[in-house]
Amino acid sequence: MEFPSPSPAPDPPAAVPAWLAERLAAAGGSVPFATYMAWALHDPEHGAYGSGRLQVGPGGDFATSPSLGPDFAALLAPQIAQWLGELAADGPLALIEAGPGEGSLARDLAEQLAAGWPELAARTELVLVEPNAGMAARQRQCLADCPLPCRWSSFEALAAAPLRGVVLAHEVLDALAVERITWDGALWRRQRVALHQGALRLEPGEPLEPQASPQLEALGLLGPGPQRPVGWSTELHPELEPWLAACGAALACGPLLVIDYALEAWRYYAPSRADGTLMAYRGQRASGDPLREPGHWDLTAHLCIESLQAAAHASGWEPIGQCRQGEALLSLGLAQRLHGLQQVQAAGAAAAGPAVLQELSLGTLLARREALLRLVDPAALGDFRWLAFRRGPASALADPALPLFLREPPLA
Ligand SMILES: C[S@@+](CC[C@H](N)C(=O)[O-])C[C@H]1O[C@@H](n2cnc3c(N)ncnc32)[C@H](O)[C@@H]1O
């Protein structure tokens, strides 16, 4: 998602909804932050995603790359087609999208595949993995006319008959609940969300177990190095490994492309980043207060690249490569696409340019040009990371071609 600056005005005190107050009371007054985050996002009745309340897109709560228009999918489609084509010369294939949001990326990719790679499309089914019923309901509407057969499933159900295909995880891992930890001057403690005098607050909880030490050390949070002041807080990502393991069990063979905002550990856990990366989004506004109006705001934390890589390794994924979104999209032909739009615009009519660019009004052309520039803006979406992994028998994976998104950009 794009990151609007947090409002300079202090957030109003968080009102505690009755459902949350009751649960906190039943839990003895407080719960680990990860439990709170999972409730606030994924509770089927009260959660921001679980209820289907959050809307993705420029007119909704926050914009993501695919929500800016069909060009993102058009640029990504050759990469998906390359991978699907490498996986099998014949037989069924799957394009699995986890966390499809409004469903527009899945729909646009299906349309691109059907139009540009009909032989592959004829063998490919679309599989949507969406645990939140409220979101899945809107995805079904969006995909009503999808040119590929599509179904909704879970990684657990798919594991009964693992698929051969490509998994796409666009801005989904940042919706997994994170653990918040805080330094008390001597120990790392879990942060808890507590009900205190009718309001929510974060408070230090139990110390992290000794088993966490190797992970903390790998992230630069233990041992010699810059000291952090008392109260310095950040996030850990305990749900990554189970998610990647479940995803891996659903896939017999093929790549996984993770696209998300991610930082190297030295940047994520830099002493100067004293309060982690957690942010809340609603109605195109950003807030640094994760306790504000629980169940009405998206809560999201960046990924830590080393934590993701370690979790992927532990769950049997082999890294293929990674780069920033700006570089990936330029390799996939964004500059040529931009140039093509400008040609059509300059001609002042839809008659010129490639067929895909025909029948566009001037307003649409300008909006698409703007969207393309936002996708590669290094201060925003262009700084997202594309991280690819793969799994499967060595015979199926021998010498795959370099992914298109990691190649040198073609000359404009
Ligand atoms: C930030 S939205 C991203 C939507 C879309 N991929 C996009 O970029 O426009 C996160 C999506 O992931 C879904 N989600 C949350 N947790 C998930 C999980 N554990 N597995 C799969 N999807 C999940 C949410 O319901 C929502 O559809």
Q: Do 17 and 10 form a contact (C-beta atoms < 8 A)? A: no
Residue 333 has pLDDT above 60, yes or no: yes
**Average pLDDT rounded to a whole number, residues 98-121:** 98
> Does residue 194 sit within a domain?
yes
What is the secondary structure of 103-123 as a DSSP string?
Answer: SHHHHHHHHHHHHH-HHHHTT
Residue 153 lies in a domain: no
| Band of pLDDT at residue 88, cut at 50, 70 and 90 | confident
Confidence of residue 361 (pLDDT cuts 50, 70, 90): confident
Q: What CATH number does the domain containing 283 carry?
A: 3.40.50.12710
For residue 341, give the nearest of 354, 329, 331 by alpha carbon: 354
Distance CA 226, CA 388 (A): 32
Q: How close is the Cα of 176 to the center of ligand 1, in Å?
A: 9
In a domain, 113, yes or no: no
Nearest ligand 1 atom, CA 170 = 6
Question: pLDDT averaged over the chain?
Answer: 92
Across residues 232-242, what is the average pLDDT?
Answer: 98
Nearest CA to ligand 1 atom 4: 101
Is 295:53 a contact under the CB 8 Å cutoff?
yes
Residue 106 CA to ligand 1 center (angstroms) comes to 12
Any atom of ligand 1 within 6 Å of the Cβ of 135: yes
Ligand 1 mean position to 374 CA, how many Å? 21
Looking at the predicted structure, is the pLDDT value of residue 7 above 50?
yes
Would you say residue 375 lies in a domain?
A: no
Q: Answer whether residue 290 is part of any domain.
A: yes
For the chain, give the percent of residues with pLDDT over 90.
84
> Does the C-beta of 101 come closer than 6 Å to ligand 1?
yes
Return the residue matching tokens 């050390």: 217
Phi-psi map region of 197: left, alpha, beta (phi>0 left; psi -120 to 50 alpha): left
Residue 359 pLDDT more than 80? no
101 CB contacts (<8 Å, ≥6 apart)?
56, 64, 66, 67, 135, 139, 170, 171
CA–CA gap between residue 114 and residue 119 (Å, rounded): 8
Is residue 122 a part of any domain in this protein?
no
Domain containing 212 equals 18-58+176-241+262-307
Residue 31 · residue 192 · CB < 8 Å: yes
Would you say 328 and 73 are in contact if contact means Cβ atoms under 8 Å apart? no
Looking at residue 170, its pLDDT comes to 98
The pLDDT score that the predictor gives to residue 354 is: 53
41-69 tens-digit pLDDT: 999 999 999 999 999 999 999 999 999 99
Q: What is the pTM of this model?
A: 0.93
- Domain total of the chain: 1
Q: Is the CB of 66 under 6 A from ligand 1?
A: yes
Listed residue (38, 1, 22) closest to 290, CA to CA: 38
Residue 278: is its pLDDT beyond 90? Answer: yes
- Helices (DSSP H) in 274-361: which residue ranges? 305-314, 325-331, 334-347
